[in-house]
Amino acid sequence: MNKRNAELTFKPNLRLGRHGWLRLTPAYSVKLVNDFLDQHPEVRRVLEPFCGTGTTALVCAQRGIACDALEINPFLVWLARAKTTNYPIAELKTTRSIASDAARCAGAMTQTRVWTPPIANIERWWREDRLLFLARLRQSILDRCPTESKTYDLLMVAFCRLLIECSNATFNHQSMSFKQEQAGLFDSQESSVLARRYTQIADEIISSAEEPIPGHARIERGDARHTPAGDAPYDAIITSPPYPNRMSYIRELRPYMYWMGFLSEAREAAELDWQAIGGTWGAATSRLQTWTPNGEAIHVDGFNDMIQCITRHSALLANYVHKYFVDISQHLASARDALAPGASVFYVVGNSKFYDTLVPVETLYAEILERLGFVNVAITPLRKRNSKKELLEFAVSGRKPG
């Protein structure tokens, strides 16, 4: 495997209507979900235990397939619900005119005492004039529609797009940095540029919201370690869980979450990262120092040796990897019980490397699935993840005995 296969990443999703509403790295490829469903025409009820931005849920709903999805992050629950909802055309017409009215009024507002989110060092994120425009725009949207409305959802998705477009932050896969900005044009010029851009983004989002969605996606906040049984057993799991690569989804999502009111202080972000599988940011790191498996063993040959090898360099990272697999084993066991006999599973996972120890994530998933009684378990390499030749993405698939 030496191909990067960009068509199997989230990038092509950006051109696919609702899938492209926000550019977030947790997303995986629409093509992977469609290919799986093409090969399994019998699937009518899907479980997506790690919903993220809602890729699986939206593809299923677009194909008329029922999908229940779980997600631990409340912002992603909100976003995935907004992406999978049907919007009546008359409501979209009103939303379009509210969008341009809100942008125009925000541009003309002179009020300087407007709410801004409690983000530490906010001036690093947005130049002063842009921050003021964003704050006025948010206020202007809130003045025009209730927060529990489809109009609010669409206008805030557009707002999220704008806030990241005009921020100084640059997101790479695992890191984030701030661009150095020169002083702004300031005053009305900058705000009219932003007002125009907001109207453009909102127009684009509202146009793609016109697409009728034939299937029903039910997206709930929940923990995949305790997968609830649905109304009826599922025919398939299609998902991409977090990988044990120390990527924190909260880090990237923080700016949206503060603006949307899902976070009000740093402590909450750290707490959410600790609840997330593979989370490692802020206080989550110090909690890992004292974590113990508490009798939860991973019965896979070579697992303990691998943990020992990582421990030689870092007991913290060894705990990180160990906890990841304890969490994933809990998830897989609970998910099995929610599946119908004969159901298929499809997990897109990436391996990782700590010092000189390769963590064969795909093999570990496959072995845990086999231990849980799944049959026809197979590993398919999908693509190279970055310039390191040994870091790959795989599909791990299998079937619950019928």
Ligand X SMILES: C[S@@+](CC[C@H](N)C(=O)[O-])C[C@H]1O[C@@H](n2cnc3c(N)ncnc32)[C@H](O)[C@@H]1O
Residues near ligand X (CB under 6 A) = 26-28, 50, 52-53, 55-56, 70-73, 76, 223-225, 240-242, 249, 276-277
Q: Considering the complex, what minimum distance in angstroms separates the CB of residue 97 from ligand X?
A: 31
- Label each residue of 269-308 as H, E or C: HHHHHHHCCCCCCCHHHHHHHCCCCCCCCCCCCCHHHHHH
Q: Cα separation of 395 and 170, whole Å?
A: 29
State which residue, 190 or 273, has the beta carbon closest to ligand X: 273
Q: Considering the complex, what minimum distance in angstroms separates the CB of residue 249 from ligand X?
A: 5
State which residue, 53 or 191, has the beta carbon closest to ligand X: 53
Q: The tokens of 263 are what?
A: 């976070």
State which residue, 135 or 157, has the beta carbon closest to ligand X: 157
State which residue, 221 or 353, has the beta carbon closest to ligand X: 221
Q: Cα separation of 162 and 54, whole Å?
A: 20
Q: Cα separation of 164 and 258, whole Å?
A: 12
> What is the phi/psi pair of residue 88, to 5°?
-60, 140
Q: Cα separation of 211 and 391, whole Å?
A: 37
Q: The tokens of 98 are what?
A: 């509210």
State which residue, 205 or 237, has the beta carbon closest to ligand X: 237
Q: Cα separation of 209 and 311, whole Å?
A: 50
Q: The tokens of 70 are what?
A: 């779980």
Q: Considering the complex, what minimum distance in angstroms separates the CB of residue 30 from ligand X?
A: 8
State which residue, 209 or 328, has the beta carbon closest to ligand X: 328
DSSP string covering 103-135: HHHHHH-----------TTHHHHS-HHHHHHHH
Q: Residue with CB nearest ligand X?
A: 52
| N- to C-terminal Cα separation, the chain | 33
Q: Cα separation of 128 and 112, whole Å?
A: 11
